Chain A
């Protein structure tokens, strides 16, 4: 071998050695984000994922109030993908209980009952429950007894995690109920589905009803007994309350009435130890977490630690303008108020007799002229609602001293609904209940509403002769307005799209008009049809 060749060989070897030493590991991992193996190695990791599963109902992402949204896709984090805000928009805006002054994209279409499958608010409202369910399924996959034992989690840690599986299955059923009610069918995924590799299938309304029912019945006895679990989490009573609500609407959902079952499960809740507390307004104040005896399930909000633009922060800011101090916040967004049709449900709008009439503010009264909405875009027109406020009933400080974000929790299930639900199921022919109990329940609501009395001359008391279905609907309006029930109620009574009941600006006309019956359900958003060929559109869209 020539000497120069030896040199070259040496050189090649030297360079090769250098290359090998350079070819360092290309497997790099983030320092703050965690891999699933690390997350689920400890019980604390499970609890943080559980907190996320609850938290998706309260806030919109991993950075409060905004900045790390759960759901992207070009949707606005604050206004379009929040659970409470989205649910409120879709349940209240198409009804007599709410109109909005803003000019955000297609938001007028909601009150006008004229939305399309391209609507971004509907896209967000579809995305949120399914996102929540996706998280829940992941939790269920990672919390099986096999996985726990494989990770050396045992004893009380393991049993606590196992018990939480029933809770998250409740939350999955609840999110599916939202899909069932709004869209009449759903993308269907369970813990059997894999992430990122398969297209979910669609489930029909009847099958989804059956799934929700079977899940709730299955977990009923795995959940903590009513009123025993730590604050903020769901127990048995929540499952019963959701079953009762599901059965009350079963005829709409499946064509088969289940009023007897509605009576059975509402009775279970009523007998679980809850009681109406004096002071209706306190249920919607910043310290409503103290109303545990009445609230079966509420979504927790906190002005410092659970911040979003789409929870009660929205409900409170959007309802006020210059009169924001009445609402306990730092400013008003001047957006949402009710039509005069809500006002018409009350004999007295001042709140002096029926204390549920929370409509007077330092800026707006309740005169007939005030209630008229000449221009939907002018916030000063309409009946102003001062129901949700960021003021504590005990006069104490709210947690966010700047009063930008609110502490008020959003009630999902509360005792009054169960009373009303029982009464309606009885009137609709359900077995297992009776009229006199129904009347008694309604009068409990009235007694509290009129300030632990029935008002002067007992004007608030309902007599057995008054008891009829329309009264129940109206009473639901008075008791539950702005809590996300109205659209479901009007559909059950056949009044959402038909001409039997008109309210201002229904169908985009100031005097109100009937609209196509397709608006009883929301359309499946176009984007979802494109990305998942297994999905089908609702009729008429």
Chain B
């Protein structure tokens, strides 16, 4: 099938009007040797056949039948019903980047509100219209920091930063002459502050990129670190799950310079990793080095309030090779989903949702740590996630859990060989007491 409106009659009228006999003539600039034969048999599908095909593929995924405790940057949260309803509106779903502002006030105001919502959560001054995901937000933040501190050449990065984020940071920085120094974590999975101090002493540090809650779920003690960075005139780049800002110190309270992360926990389903949405917010003095689109408020010729894409002199379509980034299409509709979810929870709901996530994860964590045969790596404050080491081989443990319909967590072997036989276990508000009690029961069985 196809979605072409014109019938053969209209096609013939158009050919006649152009003054040609066949559509083929329009392709005369293409060398004959490059032309491929026109398919003669209709090998398409009807809509119902297509749906059937997709349903069969979806059914080949058995994952939905498990109780999942996987996190690591992608979290299973309840998505309020209103999110899909708003995001599927034709005027949003089928519009382009708002180049013609007067016909795009809806989307422009949405982006303005999204920027405002991220600023409210993080406490930062300004936020852009979105980046692709958490990884690209981290990578762009590093490039931004390098532009802001051109005279320096060392970037410190926590080893407890999500390894999937770190992978893209390495990719983006590959062709730059910056020196990256890894800051390790200690035995309780917190930043090793002695190593950090030692590297900060050199005085050549652009900034420090860390994550809190970190990849292991540990909420880092960042206030003293932030002060040290300020003393050394180094920038503080903090990646965070925006939901954690519901109960933990805002980026502004921690004197962060560039706050980044992935807003997936608000309004975006797991969907095998995307689309999610990266956020990047910063202090106002850095706005002109920000990557990506930004929406600002202005007035029309009658003095009426309106919104436009602004500060575009930073962007690729104007500055070309001198732009702050190559990003063009971003994640607008995913940003809308995030906005709707944040607003549905609102001022009080975001706090309660955050606390609910904290408490349910605590419940499982506290109950697991007392089981003989397990070791809890991060006994201090964690959010959503924590790391448990099992005395038995992990494959054995995973097998028992899976037989019980549970996907118990992310194996850390692949990421950190030193954390062998350990699981990164994520709990969100979606887990009931019954489900968590079952997890505890199966864990006991595993450790017998």
Q: Do these two chains interact?
A: no
